[in-house]
Amino acid sequence: MAYVIGEACIDEMDGSCVDVCPVDCIYEGEEKRYINPVECIDCGACLTVCPVLAIKSPQDGPDPVWAQDNVDFFELTLPGKTEPIGSPGGASSLGKIGVDTPLVAQRKDA
């Protein structure tokens, strides 16, 4: 299991985690960021800079709902997209995705 970005990240688009990630595996949705579980190397650099403590390490036992949410961002066909994002090998090549998972969209609308 890779590092996981949880609910505290919704509406917190600080970006410090992106700046320190050595493998560019943190992708930006509309209201939240997501760690690609295939691309993450479990280095922990993102964990130490998150201003809202939204990132959990595998050893911390992240909430399974948010662990699945990070997977879903890459494996589901997101609203308005024609195919899943998958593992493109780096977030910077895609830029802001502009859409979130159904879970995040649901929380945002509540």
What would the pLDDT profile of 70-99 be if each residue is shown by its tens digit? 999 999 999 999 999 999 999 999 999 999
pLDDT under 50 in the chain at which residues?
none
Give pTM, 2 decimals: 0.94
Give the per-residue pLDDT at 109.
Answer: 63
Please give the residue range of the domain that contains residue 54: 4-109
Side chain identity, residue 79:
P
Question: What is the domain-level CATH number for residue 79?
Answer: 3.30.70.20
Give the per-residue pLDDT at 40.
Answer: 96
The number of domains in the chain is 1
Give the per-residue pLDDT at 1.
Answer: 74
Q: 95 burial class (0-12, 13-18, 19+ CB within 10 angstroms)?
A: exposed
What are the b/e assignments for 66-81, b being 16+ CB within 10 Å?
bbebbbbbbeeebeee
Supply φ then ψ for residue 16, to 5 degrees: -60, -35
Give the per-residue pLDDT at 15.
Answer: 92
